[in-house]
Structure 1
Amino acid sequence: MSSVRVCTRKDGSVYTQVLFREFDPAKGRRVQASVSFDDHKAALSWQKILDQVGPEKARAMLAAEETVQGEKTVTLNDSWAETYISGLTGVEQATRNRYRRYMANDIGPAMGDLPLPALCAATADQNTVVQEWVNEMEADGVAPKTIANKHGFLSGCLRAAVKRHLLPFNPCEDTKLPKRRRECVFLEPEEFDIVYEAAPAKWRPLTLFLVTTGARYSEATALRVGDIARNVDHEGNEFWTCRIAKAWKYTGTSDYKLGGPKTQRGYRTINIPKETVDALRLAGRNKDQLLFRTRNDKRIIPQQFHNLCWKPTMDQVAGRIGKRPRPHDLRHTCASWMLNNGAEITDVSAHLGHESIKTTVDVYGHLDRRSGHRASTAISRALVRTAVQKG
């Protein structure tokens, strides 16, 4: 551990030395070293960094900070992160609270006291502080999605700092994030039949609705009876639609509130199969009543569906179908059924309410083999003129 010593020069000025030991390659051993500061507060701040990251990284960060001439020292902890969080627009209060928890529990302890320019300094292995923070979370077994969420917040925070000329560049932009290890699980229609028949009867309508609409759980359980509508086309054919314009939102407490869907394109009207409508038994129901509800006319929370329906059903059938999907995999299954039965990927994107077609392609593009078939057919035509075909 380092120590601090206040000293006086011959001219009477006072300065602060931070004393520590570091490895000297020339001598092959650790030796006493020091760094002096005219500002006592700056010395204490650097001492804290030194004890946290070690002499080599601390010196590199100090050098990076000194390249930003005349810039006031700003850290994530003392002001910038809160300034950024407070200034965000178009976000729920629960989101602000989550960001503050990221700062208090994850980012603050790791790099919150470092001057912002120091976050751009490269370490001996050419990593930034941000990359090493990500690596440490991965080594501790933090889920890739959780790492991506925390890194995404930090990246937005530092991007704003760049715009304010507090940073030369955003060190998050080149960070390599761990890949998500959880693969989507797709059920074949016959496999879903097994799941459906094993599910408790009272939960079957919700299970069928999730797989045939691809709605997110938070969207499906926010629907009212009146959101399901009977329609007739110009030829007199009956069809049914569902208007999705609400979803349950986490508030940071045990309470949830109704808000909009996850994305702007999440506001959508989708067609639903008559078989699904029949299972809902809408006749005689109040239009303002929750479509899926408890006996007390309350929303069905995810834990209820998981504990009372999904887990016991999976315990019963996982061995038979050779898979153990999550409830969210019903949404993936819906997409796979659409693609395997002639729907275009743009149709799937609109149906699921993805903000971007890129999301749909990235997740489900491998299921649509029509483009692959066209490619292989074109290659076959070319081979007709080669020695391969001629024998």
Structure 2
Amino acid sequence: MERLVKWVLRHRWTVDLPLYAVFLFLAPNWFGDEPWPTRAIPMLLLLPLLLRRRFPRTVAVVIIAGAAAVYFNDIWAYDRGRTDLAMAVVLFNLVKLRHRWFAATIAAAIVVLDVQWVSLYAPEAENPTFTMLGILPLHIAAWALAEFFRAREQLTAEEEKRDDAQTRAAVAEERTRIARELHDVLAHSISVIVLNAEGAKLARHREPEAVDRTLDTIVRTGRDALAELRRLLEVLHAGQAARSPQPTLAELRELVDQSGRDVTLDVSGDPGPLPASAALQAYRIVQEALTNMIKHAPADATGRVGVAFEPPEVRIEVTNTGGHAPPAPALPSSGRGLTGMRQRVEMYHGELSTGPLPDGGYRVCATLVVRP
């Protein structure tokens, strides 16, 4: 059914078929002294209606001129039904296409022509006023129907624009989410890989056994990063259904161990009722904070990750000390880390505070408000 409606809207001539059938039904009076081609001439005056959508004003003027010619001719004068219907059609067309002022002029011309017809051909009727006004409901209905269809089309267009805007917003939101996920996965994993590779390079002569442990960390981190990237690619290809499984708070211990730094983990409270989406945001915040520590803190800096479940809030605090070793070589920064954390916190109406500590370290404190 929907396909049929769309096809009809693309081929408007199919809608006109019933109208043309009515015009043929209202055929002229074939009986009289004049030859039938002469009596059929008013039907030729209706041909401009075929072009009314393309040239609405021109066709309206031609139809009004043809109606005047019909009403002033004794042979065609009683062909009033088809002529008034043609004038109602052009009036409908003008209003629907938003040519209201021009339509008002045409409506005035229609009234003048009807008054002229009554004065010429029905002056002796019992009720000439009724004869004149009896045709007006046709034109009033044409105007009203045009207003209705115009308002309906406008509403449909606005709904399509709104749906299109919502679709674009959803796409933009999804792109932002995926970009944020990619940043968190790659920034953390590649930072761990680079720093461990540099450490292995320095220790290959002094502590060969440490090199093996470091290479194991690099391999494990690389595999985890690939697994995360596969999840994100599944989201791109399969949509919403592919978003699970995702990292959860239960994997925090592995995340802390993966950092390669002396970091303690302190988790309190029951994370059981926590929604999966909130758990993912908390995990990503911890991941980004550890990434910043790996990138910017000295090699001997220690850290602490604290996660407290205090319904309806989740409190996250990640700190690191200043350390005393020379700073590690600076790693490239995208500048999106703190922005991404702030966006995650805003999703759950929480708060984020970051800043340096007196001993030269750094502190990240975030709160997620998880309402039932």
TM-score (norm 1): 0.24
Structure with the largest fraction of helix: 2
